[in-house]
Structure 1
Amino acid sequence: MAKSYANYLKKHTEALVKDVGIEAACALTGKSKATLGRYYSNNEEHADRFMPVDAVVALEAASSYPHVTSALAEVRGITLSYDESSPNEKRGGVNSDVVALSQRFAVLMGEYNQSIEDGVISVNEAKRLLQETTALQKVLIEMKLHLEQEAD
């Protein structure tokens, strides 16, 4: 596997574990904190370790967003879409989605403005930008779902 993809998947694995919470992730997967940490560790000794698919499924069922599945799709150039039975579906509509989209985009631009102020985006700043980008992506997925419902 290309190293860039490996790091990308490990970052999304870490986001998934943190989304669910480390204690809950341990309970859901039957894995220890140390084992879960190895799945997203960038240390050379753990470079070939990835979370098993059954653990990803268990965690994504409890998470607010399918972090690893989304990352795998992005690596392949695939766009994901939730169906109407999605447990993550929120009530509202396109109008509320537009408001949420505007708010998320404003937060992302604010983070970017702060991050680029010194001409360099640090690792922590990049992580904050990634979180905001992921939040924006969630809103877009919800908006797409609502638009698909209205088109039916």
Structure 2
Amino acid sequence: MYGLGIKHMSVVDSYLKKHSEALVKDVGIEAACELTGKSKATLGRYYSSHDEHADRFMPIDAVAALEEAASYPHVTAALAELKGNSLSHDNRRRNSADKGGVNSDVIALSQRFAMLMGEYNQSIEDGIITMNEAKRLLRETVALQQVLVDMKLHLEEESV
């Protein structure tokens, strides 16, 4: 078969194509076309399992546009999983209600850090951090991390 120019998809390629399809279906084909500027046929080729489309993948700018509109970052999560990582999915929409910029981020950062330290102080009082306390600390740490991500995005916006 090698001489015929037929390329069979690897397991990784197939996995990415399935998640690309899930992303398009999450957003809806019509909306996906509008968001990416691609036709239905072009989007279909990105997740087609046919050999003639085995080497076609959705461009990263199209993935970003669709994941902004989607309920879940399907392709990004798939890429993370392939590398043995996982994502912490936050249902709130980044920067949608918060237009305060860096000053608001600094205030939110200090508040979240204070909450983390308060939670830590309570957890360590008896000298032992229980499983439930560790989970609460983890939640506060993830919330703090999200504030830092928001702050980074605001700083990048202001530096342009």
Normalised TM-score (structure 2): 0.53
Cα–Cα, structure 1 residues 71 and 150, in superposed 2: closer, same or farther, change >3 Å?
Answer: closer
**Deviation (angstroms), 1:45:** 0.1
In the other structure, the counterpart of 1:149 is 140
1:72 to 44, 57, 79: 79
Cα–Cα, structure 1 residues 44 and 148, in superposed 2: closer, same or farther, change >3 Å?
Answer: same
Classify the secondary structure of the residue corresponding to 1:56.
helix
| Bigger Rg over Cα | 2
CA distance in 1: counterparts of 2:136 and 2:93, whole angstroms: 13
Amino acid aligned to 1:149? E
Consecutive aligned runs of 4 or more in structure 1 exceeding 4 Å deviation: 144-147
In the other structure, the counterpart of 2:29 is 22
In the other structure, the counterpart of 2:88 is 81
CA contact 1:81–1:145 (8 Å) conserved in 2? no
**Deviation (angstroms), 1:3:** 0.2
In the other structure, the counterpart of 2:16 is 9
Instruction: Map residues 117-136 of structure 1 onto 2, 5 A cutoff.
Output: none
CA distance in 1: counterparts of 2:84 and 2:67, whole angstroms: 20
Amino acid aligned to 1:59? L
Q: Which runs of 5+ in 2 are unaligned?
A: 1-8, 95-134, 145-160
Q: Which runs of 5+ in 1 are unaligned?
A: 89-143
CA distance in 1: counterparts of 2:31 and 2:77, whole angstroms: 21
CA RMSD of aligned residues (A): 2.9
May I ask how many residue pairs the two structures share in their alignment? 96
Normalised TM-score (structure 1): 0.56
Cα–Cα, structure 1 residues 80 and 145, in superposed 2: closer, same or farther, change >3 Å?
Answer: farther
CA distance in 2: counterparts of 1:16 and 1:29, whole angstroms: 12
2:55 to 38, 48, 53: 48
